[in-house]
Chain A
Amino acid sequence: DGGITQSPKYLFRKEGQNVTLSCEQNLNHDAMYWYRQDPGQGLRLIYYSQIVNDFQKGDIAEGYSVSREKKESFPLTVTSAQKNPTAFYLCASSMVWGSPGELFFGEGSRLTVL
């Protein structure tokens, strides 16, 4: 089954701890993205990657970091520098960056900071 998989689905973190959210896709897509979803705020872009070993900051990158060592994987680390990390995080992929097209989303990871 082709698709995009996020884990974990739910995650709890104590203040001051870093946490890494996993995102894996087997769609052979070049581009991958991380969005943050808060009630009434829509989908805000954190980071995106067009090709392996390259990524760019989105609109709200502060307090987050990513890596793209493999085409299939784009993990997101929420660092202790992120002031308000409690949110729903969505990973997405698309076939080719340069030609706008459909985003395929994962099922999301809900992070709660205690």
Chain B
Amino acid sequence: GENVEQHPSTLSVQEGDSAVIKCTYSDSASNYFPWYKQELGKRPQLIIDIRSNVGEKKDQRIAVTLNKTAKHFSLHITETQPEDSAVYFCAASGRNRDDKIIFGKGTRLHILP
């Protein structure tokens, strides 16, 4: 089955700098890669996703890149702000009806003042 590895587990960046979180997946059939953000004490929420027919997707300060050959994808946050402090989860899923969405273990991002 699918396995998703996420790094780093903790990341601290100065406010205004960029943050990058990386994930690798094992199943080459996976074709959907969402990213969820979970603020302290709140529910996870989808912030961006990418499908295998594109290599990059941007939404304001966040972007996701996908390298299908290497089976890795990354989340990029530019001009970080205090409200970016949260736990971020990457995930991967296949196209088949029985495919599950498998999550990475999460990255706790701290934005330093």
Contacts and interface: CB of A to CB of B under 8 A. Distances in A.
Task: Label chain A's interface by main secondary structure.
Answer: loop
Contacts of B101: 45, 100, 103
A interface, size bucket: 20 to 34
A38 to B, nearest CB: 10
Given A45-B100, A100-B101, A102-B49, A107 B42 contact: yes
A11 B94 CA distance: 35
Given A100-B101, A103-B101, A40 B9 contact: yes
B interface, size bucket: 20 to 34
B100 A48 contact: yes
Given A41-B105, A45-B100, A100 B32 contact: yes
5 contacts: A42-B89, A42-B105, A90-B44, A100-B94, A100-B95
